[in-house]
Structure 1
Amino acid sequence: MSESEEDFKARAHIADARHSTIIQLAHGIAPADDSVLEQMSVGIDFITDFWRDKYLREYISAGGSKIKFITGQSGSGKTHLLHLLSNLARKEHFVTVSFSAKEVWLHDFKEIYLEILRQSDVLKILEDCSRKVINEMGFDWQDIPQGKVFIDYLGELGLADGITRREIRLQLKTLFLDNPLLDNNFALACSLICGGILGHPFLEQQSRQLLLSFLHGDSNVKLSSLRPLGLSASRITKFNARHMLRSLSEIIRLSGHAGLFITIDDVDILLDGSALNPMHYTKMKRDDTYESLRQLIDDIDSLHNIMFIFAFERALIDNENSGMKSYQALWMRVQNEIVSGKLNRFGDLLDLDSAASQMYDAEAIVQMSRKLARIVNSIDIDAQTINPEQVDEILQLAKTGGISIPRLVNRSTLGNIEGEKAHV
């Protein structure tokens, strides 16, 4: 019996996924599959569990804000840790945003904010806010039939009178317009969109799209078109982007989430001097990035329910000509974390190379290898758990500082896997 087209596509998809996983593992890249990522995590839980308990469950969800930096050489597990932390944050009901500095410019905070907004799905957040309004008025949003707005549902119950409509407007005013943490334009746009979701005050589809385009920083929006809706004629810029971010984190909290969790990887791209790189940073752009980071550090206490984690290779710290040391205003704010050299889980900088001795003893290294071998064997590639002699060799090589322990374990466990990838 011939194979159906659907079966063939399904089998091809599985083969592609296996091939992708093998490539990622062979090159020390954190696998995209969350289940694989968690299966192969060893030793790092003394960081992830601590940050989950102290930050996600307590400090950030209670209204605090934090910036942390993760550094280490290539293959030390920076991206792996970012993925794990994002997974934990989602489970703790945070809105999570993750991107690479290879994809988003960092010298203009407006670009960072717009990427955060894009991934946050502001319309879904405002839908959750509208449900909060419904609940505050003594109704259950789940009782409203799909496709029907709240005001029409009230009409069927004979409750869509002037008093009820006024109560809806008061709820929106309290939630958005009277909220001191919200930018005026941002608050009014959210109030109007939420009203449209509820069915009162009525909002035309064209106006709704205009407001969403404004929130997303669309440069094609004519400022004059905002005035009839009550908004002032202003755009999102690098100067007001942090204030807009505070507004975004506030509506995320209002929607019922614990907060906003943001990871930015590959910040060391600032050191890439190749003019062929589409994300090439000139000295001016690099200094603007450092200044933007400096401002974020200084302003972080004005934000609420938000956590930033930046990851980069150690060279961004050590390079005196182009790294953080080259921008004194930023270096003054981070140098104490770096000079101390002691692992402090409350500290603002986590050096995975320095922490390796506490994360990876001989038992943890064998466990890491065993988990890796099990995953690879499950996709029909032969891999063997390392032996005690290999463990000793890994520990000795790691002391030289040339290659990270996770990368050494990968190499020893996977062996010459490159030649086998073609058969996956």
Structure 2
Amino acid sequence: MEPAVREEALESLRCGNPPLDLQVLKAITVGEREGIWNFWRDHYLDDYIACGGSKVKFLTGKPGSGKTHALLLMLEEARRLGYVTFFTSARRMRLNKFDSIYQAVLDAVDVENLVAAYCDHVIGSLGYQPGQLAPEQDFFSWAQAQGRAADSLRREIQEKLDELYQDRKINHSFAMAFTQLCAHRLGSRRLADGQKEILQEWLKGRSLPARALKPLKIFTRIDKYNARHMMASFLHLLRLCGRRGLCAAVDDLSALLERGPEGRMLYGRSARNEVYESLRQLVDDFAGFEGAFFVFAGRTELIHDEKGGFKSYEALWMRIQNEVAGSRPNKFADLFNQDLLLKEFFTAGTCLELQQKLNETFGLGSGIRQEDFHCLVENVSMLSPVRRVVEAIVNQYDAGGERDGEFCSQTGH
């Protein structure tokens, strides 16, 4: 491991965050079999979502319980399975309007790659192999060089592109913008200078002047009223382009209850209720989506805070609450508590396994005994035992290897 990567990962752990380097993240992961991300992969991403279904999940837990860790591993599994992935924090993106979510998702998408994938589909449906074209050569010019008449070829290409416009699952304006980009790439109908960028920006939800859109026959803009229809169009298009769908994760949802550096709430009451209403609509509208898996993660205050949490907005709470509660974690639940999962598998033995993985990954010294781990795991705290164990191991290394009987007194346990 490169020293820079090692130090960056260690600094993340010292701050209570998982390392962003996926190789490091996997190397220090314990409880792979029990992990919620593996369950979501097997029962949703590789099954229900892959077949065109959609789902919204909420993940809660104490600070340091592994929520972000689980999200990052889930997204890695999703990429491996052929999904477009998206990750953000509620501290970085406003959630009170759905068009903000749409814009953030599309910002993370390479529209040019989607256009290329759909153009390959069109070329294949016309009886040609996309791999026959030379790099940077458009299909229209190449086919003419093979003896195809320009007029009949242009008509056939347009008929294939019109199938997208006639698809009832795709908004007409969305299809109009996307098919023009496809026609430009195929070479059958060229766009004027700057128009390609205008169409791409419109698809990403940017506000553009009407005079720029009128020559392109687009007379609407993407806003909070039609963003869901545009998202549904995008999701359907992903599957037409050979992708399995979208896997999106929004972390730090508990920012809805937090205050900024100046002491002011990051989200006022009205803005928070707008977020909850947006989430409520997302849950209700998901029947019309195709191949989408959304996970919103935050601290348990979202459940326990009756004045500002989920329970403060009854329309959302009624849809996501677990009607049957028990001491065992129900991994199929739409509202999943990570802390219940930790109670099942995170023992002193798991701590020793975690210590060994951290030692092997970072070259840390050993010195924390099993009885010390019992002290950490069993002690009630505002923090998850996972966070306390990781901090203890890393801090013990930073302090030069204090050991044994000194350990519990130094960590306050």
CA-atom RMSD, angstroms?
A: 2.0
Over 3 Å counting, the alpha-carbon distance change for 1:404 and 1:20 in structure 2 is same
1:63 match: 52
State the Cα deviation string for residues 181-239 of structure 1 (Å, max 9, x = none). Answer: 111110110011011111112222322122112112222x21233232222x2111112
One-letter amino acid of the structure 1 residue matched with residue 391 of structure 2: R
Displacement of 1:360 in angstroms is 1.9
Alignment check: 8 A CA contact 2:301 2:309 kept:
yes
Give the one of 130, 133, 137 matched to 2:119: 130
1:128 CA displacement: 0.9
Q: Is contact 2:63–2:384 with CA below 8 Å preserved after alignment?
A: yes
User: Does 2:387 match 1:407?
Assistant: yes
Structure 2 unmatched runs, 5+: 401-413
Deviates more, 1:116-125 or 1:387-396: 387-396
Residue 199 of structure 1 corresponds to: 187
2:208 paired with 1:226: no
Alignment partner of 1:393 is 2:375: yes
**TM (normalized to structure 2)?**
0.91
Q: Secondary structure at the match of 1:308?
A: strand
Look up the equivalent residue of 2:271 and give its one-letter code. K
Distance 1:319 1:279, change over 3 A: closer
1:350 aligns to what SS in structure 2?
A: strand
The aligned amino acid for 1:79 is T
Residue 291 (structure 2) pairs with residue 305 (structure 1): yes
Extract unaligned runs of 5+ from structure 1.
1-12
What SS class does the counterpart of residue 197 from structure 2 fall into?
Answer: helix
Please say if 1:361 is aligned against 2:350. no
Instruction: Identify if the C-alpha distance between structure 1 residues 274 and 412 changes in structure 2 by more than 3 Å, giving closer, same or farther.
Output: closer
1:213 aligns with 2:201: yes
Quick one: which amino acid aligns to residue 373 of structure 2? V
Give the secondary structure class of the aligned counterpart of 1:330. Answer: helix
In the TM superposition, 1:217-296 aligns within 5 A as 217-219=205-207, 221-231=208-218, 233-274=219-260, 276=262, 280-296=266-282
Equivalence for 1:319: 305
Contact 1:384/1:414, CA 8 A, preserved across alignment: no
In the superposition, relative to structure 1, how do residues 340 and 244 fare at CA in structure 2: closer, same or farther (>3 Å)? Answer: farther
Change in 2 beyond 3 A, CA 1:276/1:139: farther
Alignment of 1:58-137 (within 5 A): 58-137=47-126
Whether the aligned pair in 1 keeps the contact of 2:9 and 2:18 (CA below 8 Å) is no
Correspondence for 1:39: 27
Q: Distance in 2 between matches of 1:299 and 1:385?
A: 53
Q: Distance in 2 between matches of 1:278 and 1:121?
A: 37
Structure 1 match to 2:358: 372
What SS does the aligned partner of 1:76 have?
coil
Over 3 Å counting, the alpha-carbon distance change for 1:32 and 1:125 in structure 2 is same
- Aligned residue for 1:106, secondary structure, equals coil
Q: CA deviation at 1:385?
A: 6.3
Residue 319 of structure 1 deviates from its aligned partner by: 0.6
Distance 1:131 1:415, change over 3 A: same
Question: Is 1:53 the counterpart of 2:42 in the alignment?
Answer: yes
Superposed CA deviations along residues 75-116 of structure 1, whole A, max 9, x for unmatched, are: 000000000000000000100011111111001111111000
Q: Is the 8 A contact 2:257 2:265 kept in 1?
A: no
Provide the secondary structure at the position in 1 that maps to 2:194. helix
**1:226 maps to amino acid:** L
Aligned residue number for residue 163 of structure 1: 152
One-letter amino acid of the structure 2 residue matched with residue 405 of structure 1? P
How far the C-alpha of 1:160 sits from its partner, in A, is: 4.2
The structure-2 alpha-carbon separation of the partners of 1:385 and 1:127, relative to structure 1 and needing over 3 Å to count, comes to farther
CA drift of 1:171 comes to: 1.1
- Are the equivalent residues in 2 in contact too, given 1:383–1:414 (CA < 8 A)? no
Aligned residues: 399
Quick one: which amino acid aligns to residue 133 of structure 1?
A: V
**TM-score normalised over the length of structure 1:** 0.89
C-alpha displacement of 1:127: 1.3
> What is the CA-CA distance between 1:339 and the residue it aligns to?
4.6
Evaluate the alpha carbon distance shift between residue 350 and residue 336 of structure 1 in structure 2; reply closer, same or farther with a 3 A threshold: closer
Name the CA distance, whole Å, in 1 between partners of 2:121 and 2:345: 43
Kindly state the Cα deviation for residue 14 of structure 1 after the two structures are TM-superposed.
Answer: 4.4
- Counterpart in the other structure of 1:26: 14
1:274-305 Cα deviation digits (max 9, x unpaired): 47379821111011001101111111111010
Aligned to 2:315, which of 329, 334, 337? 329
Q: Is the 8 A contact 1:261 1:307 kept in 2?
A: yes
Contact 2:18/2:68 (CA < 8 Å) preserved in 1?
A: yes
The answer to whether the 8 A contact 2:250-2:297 is kept is: yes
> Is the CA contact 2:321–2:335 (under 8 Å) kept in the aligned structure 1?
no
* Contact 1:338/1:349 (<8 A) preserved: no
Distance 1:33 1:277, change over 3 A: farther
Instruction: Work out the CA distance in 2 between the residues paired with 1:171 and 1:238.
Output: 31
Cα distance in structure 2, aligned partners of 1:247 and 1:151:
27
Q: Deviations over 1:386-419 (max 9, x none)?
A: 432123223322xx25331211221332233455
